[in-house]
Amino acid sequence: MVEKEENDDVPDYRDPGDIPESELRIALCGLNLLGDDLYLRMQALNLSIVDQFLMGLEYDTLQKLNDQESTPMPEATFLSAMSQMWIFAAYELLRTWRQRAKEVLKLVHNGGLAQRVEGLERSAGKFHVAQQIRASQFRRALNDPNIGARISDDLRAIHIPMSQLEHLRISLAKHEVRGQKNSIAFAPGYSRINMWCGSLDYEIGSGNVVLDVVSRRDIADALRSTADHSSLPSEEHLKSFDIFMKGPQVPDRAARTCPSVVSSELDGRNRRSATDG
């Protein structure tokens, strides 16, 4: 752990020993429609357990890097593998929760929640435990007049870390850039050891532009902080964030290198459209 001097511009990473294992689990289970689902709670617990293990591994890897002044390859390779698995698992848990949250929010707004509850309760039967849980969840939501506002707050709280997870997951698993069909991610899987906490820093990019550098620890800390809804980002802030994460709108290469070619092509298309009309 790096000792910080007063007014020193050092990232504020807490020592792993100061972070209770339950902190991440409690934050995740505080999301409406997650904490009252047995199976989603199990996944949240799994993430919390592995998070604690990884924080220790991250600091051990950083210590070895400092001691031998070169990358400890066995430790760094294992850390890379485990970090990516944690990122995939966190993404899938939150994707599943977000899908359910948006479904309930839509049903609240269009008045279809009662019908959905009745359908779930009829088809659950006596043995489909997961469907019984879902029916009970939706029944509680139906009886809560504030559920729409509370789910909306949860979605705002989780928006930025979820977006970072999506970018990383698509880069690591599909070697593509989020939201850009047939794109090629820049150095997917490449990472560097963060010099303050040992977690692996990944670049989130669009084309040749690096938009952000984020580590697994950054995302885990952001998820821990979602338990506090006292300073949620505004809708305007989230819209600006989403626009920024799309990256710069770079003109087509042909238009940059030879504008007359593109202009001629467009003129030809316009003439053909006029003829067709």
- pLDDT value of position 97: 98
DSSP string, 227-250: T--TTPPPHHHHHHHHHHHT---P
Same domain (yes/no): 113, 189: yes
Could you tell me if 231 and 275 lie in one domain? no
Residue 53 domain-assigned (yes or no): yes
Q: Stretch 172-189: mean pLDDT, rounded?
A: 91
Full DSSP string of the chain: -PPPPTT-----PPPGGGS-THHHHHHHHTSTTTTT-HHHHHHHHHHHHHHHHHHHHHHHHHHHHHHHTS--HHHHHHHHHHHHHHHHHHHHHHHHHHHHHHHHHHHHHHT-HHHHHHHHHHHHTTT-HHHHHHHHHHHHHHT-TTHHHHHHHHHHHHHHHHHHHHHHHIIIIISSBTTBTT---SSTT-EEE-TTT-PEEEEEEETTEEEEEEEHHHHHHHHHHTT--TTPPPHHHHHHHHHHHT---PPPHHHHH-HHHHHHHHHHHHHHHHHH-
Same domain? 275 vs 201: no
User: Which residues are paired to 257 by β-bridges?
Assistant: none
What average pLDDT does this structure show over 232-238?
96
Cβ distance 30 to 134 under 8 Å? no
Report pTM: 0.85
Question: How far, in Å, CA of 112 to CA of 116, rounded?
Answer: 6
- Band of pLDDT at residue 10, cut at 50, 70 and 90: confident
C-alpha dist (Å) from residue 115 to 102, 118, 134, 274: 17, 5, 14, 52
Q: Any idea which of 33-37, 137-141, 181-185 has the lowest mean pLDDT?
A: 181-185
Residue 227 and residue 119 in one domain: yes
| pLDDT, tens only, 46-61 | 999 999 999 999 999 9
Note whether 59 and 116 are same-domain residues. yes
- Tell whether 206 and 268 lie within a shared domain: no
User: Does a structural domain hold residue 94?
Assistant: yes
**How much is the average pLDDT of 207-225?**
94
Domain that holds residue 37: 16-246
267 with 230, same domain: the answer is: no
